[in-house]
Amino acid sequence: MKLVILAGGYGTRLTEETKIKPKPLVKIGNKPIIWHIMKIYSYFGINDFIICLGYKGDLLKRELNKIGEDWNINYVNTGLKTMTGGRIRRIKKYLKNDKYFCLSYGDGLCDVNLKKLINFHIKNKKTVTLTAVRYKNPKGVLNINKNRRVIAIKEKPTEYINGGFFVLTNNVFKYLKNDKSIFEQDCLPKLTKTNQLLAFKHHGFWGCMDTLREKIELNKIWKSKQRAWKVWL
């Protein structure tokens, strides 16, 4: 199975760092956050990556190649102004032989059991499964019924939010029309209406790096003795 990483955005809420680099290159410890994400997936046996490039994509490619992990990485320039759904749409040809694939943003960390997440997705035969997490500052919150089906996505506080660790079936591409398609606003709500979006509830660690404060918090965790997202250690 492959992992697609959305790594082309401008990172406007972390301008202290992203004036000179793409957000996935902002470091936690001495490694960029995208390396931490890829290490999580690699721990669960996923070593084939498709990275959707955009803002300062050449820099991301150059710096990530310096790290020298034994990974198969396909860098795809998906455009500077392309939206999240459009970026996924642009890498369709790289997944023509894959019934399922994983998807992650380039700024989130989690200790979710990816093997269980993938098996849950395959067993339930839906188009998209997302990882639902609890967080103190909800962004794009979820309404989940007793069968774990996502029935609504709303921009107000609730118990669970979209944690950004997805498994997708390749028929998702029919929901992505053009470069302006926003995965979270265009595709996922359509899937809720057709009973094609499920939530895998995760009660462990989850953190994102949208702001300088969150970057500082993640670096504190990395330096501490907390296991957090460090599943490979």
Task: Give the pLDDT confidence of 132-160 residue by residue, as tens digits.
Answer: 998 765 556 677 777 888 777 765 555 78
Q: What is the maximum alpha-carbon separation in the chain?
A: 46
Considering the chain, what is the average pLDDT of its residues?
A: 92
C-alpha distance from residue 143 to each of 122, 147, 156, 198 (Å):
22, 11, 11, 11
Q: Dump pLDDT digits (tens) for 2-32.
A: 999 999 988 777 877 788 899 999 999 999 9
Distance between start and end Cα atoms, the chain: 22
C-alpha distance from residue 73 to each of 17, 22, 165 (Å):
24, 17, 19
Considering only CA atoms, which of 103, 100, 106 is closest in space to residue 53? Answer: 106
Phi, psi of 30 (to 5 degrees): -110, 15
On the question of pLDDT at 218 being above 90, the answer is: yes
- Please provide the CATH number assigned to the domain covering 2-223: 3.90.550.10
Q: Dump pLDDT digits (tens) for 90-99.
A: 999 999 999 9
CA Rg value for the chain? 17
pLDDT for residue 212: 92
Q: Dump pLDDT digits (tens) for 17-72.
A: 788 899 999 999 999 999 999 999 999 999 999 999 999 999 999 999 999 899 99
C-alpha distance from residue 128 to each of 88, 167, 187, 190, 219 (Å):
13, 6, 10, 11, 31
| C-alpha 34: how far from chain center | 10
